[in-house]
């Protein structure tokens, strides 16, 4: 099948096990810097084409994310088609683990939407190429912790770029999606003195955030949130959050969130630029989770992983300044930095070592 994103993937594998009901797709964009590492998304896609489109886009983004974060990893991603609340089972996860094992280390899996560290423990019974396991099994645990921390660092850098200070104190930040990453991000923002307004499709997630942080305001939905007077908008749910209607409604000066693939189409960033809204590229600022689970491959140290995630501040600031100096969109500047590292460091993999 031809990729709708112009090709470029090293490997795309369709996985099916009729007895367990498993239907999955694994995509590896590049192994120039190392094995592809990316989470497994368990999601009720409308059909196989929708699942394929998602995994192709996500795996490419993971390659760029790993490169920009300075990791010796390539880009990969997997999707399992189904409703995790109804279809997830030990048999299905273990069948998936055997497919991951069959790739012989070209792809390492971890958590994503619909999967959790406990699921990685089950998958690990069939493959050694898994990370993001529970702390009880020596793993990194919930990767949303450092994902949120990294997004906060990217937001601080964006504030420094726009307002000359790396603080969100007194700024109004809208967070769309507070189930995992968004919930932790709210904590960092409140601690920094920000005024926070949130929304989520699950009212229980909103209730939990407001119970922990009573000053947080909630609105009915994302359409209402983007029409609020905001300084910063943080999309932290699924991709495609920045469509034409959303961009037109935004009052925020900064968009910086944890969701992957936030731009609805290739022209979205031009629309943001026309409205003088600074976009911190999602794969730049949300790399903290990847950094967290990647650290597990060397024996997990939270403090070491957090120190590396803290560098997202400097990386984001570099991306924004390069974009300004070169007269390009921030995502173009970020792509150039990532691609340069893939070329220069990836080239060394061709040097034979006895």
181 has binding-site annotation: yes
- 179 carries a ligand binding annotation: yes
The DSSP symbol for 234 reads E
77 is catalytic: yes
* Nearest by Cα to 25 from 8, 38, 7, 6: 38
Question: Quick one: which of 66, 60, 95 has its CA closest to 80?
Answer: 95
> Which of 246, 212, 210, 204 minimizes the C-alpha distance to 228?
246
Alpha-carbon 87 to chain mean position: 24
CA distance 268 to 80: 29
Q: How far apart are CA 297 and CA 236, in angstroms?
A: 26
Task: Establish whether 324 is an annotated binding residue.
Answer: no
Which position among 65, 77, 306, 324 bears the catalytic label? Answer: 77
- Residue 7 sits at φ, ψ, to 5 deg, of 75, -165
End-to-end Cα spacing for the chain? 39
Three-state DSSP class for 202?
A: coil
Strand, helix or coil at 80?
strand
Task: Count CA within 13 A, CB hemisphere, residue 100.
Answer: 33
Could you tell me how far CA 28 lies from the centroid of its own chain?
A: 16
**Is 177 a known ligand-binding residue?**
yes
DSSP string, 265-282: STTHHHHHHHTT-EE--H
Q: Are 130 and 97 in contact (CB under 8 A)?
A: yes
CA dihedral 315→245→239→88, nearest 10 degrees, is 150
Residues in the annotated binding site for NAD(+): 177-182
Residues in the annotated binding site: 177-182
Give the residue numbers marked as catalytic.
77
């Amino acid at each position: 099948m031809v990729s709708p994103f112009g090709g470029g993937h090293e490997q795309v594998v369709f996985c099916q096990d009729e007895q367990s009901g498993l239907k999955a797709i694994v995509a590896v964009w590049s192994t120039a810097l190392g094995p592809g590492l990316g989470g497994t998304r368990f999601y009720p896609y409308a059909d196989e084409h929708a699942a394929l489109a998602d995994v192709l886009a996500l795996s490419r983004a993971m390659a760029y994310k790993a490169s920009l974060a300075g990791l010796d990893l390539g880009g990969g991603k997997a999707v399992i088609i189904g409703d995790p609340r109804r279809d997830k089972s030990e048999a299905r996860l273990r069948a998936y683990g055997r497919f991951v094992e069959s790739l012989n280390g070209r792809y390492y899996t971890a958590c994503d939407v619909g999967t959790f560290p406990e699921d990685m423990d089950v998958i690990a019974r069939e493959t050694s190429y898994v990370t993001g396991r529970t702390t009880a099994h020596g793993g990194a645990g919930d990767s949303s912790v450092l994902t949120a921390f990294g997004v906060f660092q990217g937001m601080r850098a964006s504030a420094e770029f726009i307002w000359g200070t790396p603080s969100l104190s007194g700024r109004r930040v809208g967070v769309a999606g507070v189930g995992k990453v968004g919930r932790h991000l709210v904590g960092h923002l409140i601690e920094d003195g920000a005024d926070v307004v949130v929304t989520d499709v699950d009212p229980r997630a909103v209730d939990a955030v407001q119970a922990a942080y009573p000053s947080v305001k909630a609105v009915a939905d994302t359409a209402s949130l983007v029409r609020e007077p905001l300084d910063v908008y943080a999309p932290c749910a699924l991709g495609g959050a920045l469509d034409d209607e959303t961009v037109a409604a935004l009052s925020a000066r900064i968009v910086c969130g944890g969701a992957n693939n936030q731009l609805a189409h290739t022209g979205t960033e031009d629309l943001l630029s026309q409205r003088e809204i600074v976009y911190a590229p999602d794969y730049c600022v949300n790399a903290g989770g990847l950094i967290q689970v990647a650290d597990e491959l060397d024996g997990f140290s939270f403090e070491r992983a957090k120190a590396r995630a803290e560098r997202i501040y400097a990386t984001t600031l570099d991306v924004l300044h390069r974009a300004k100096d070169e007269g390009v969109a921030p995502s173009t500047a970020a792509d150039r930095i990532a691609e340069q590292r893939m070329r220069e460091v990836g080239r060394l993999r061709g040097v034979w070592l006895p």
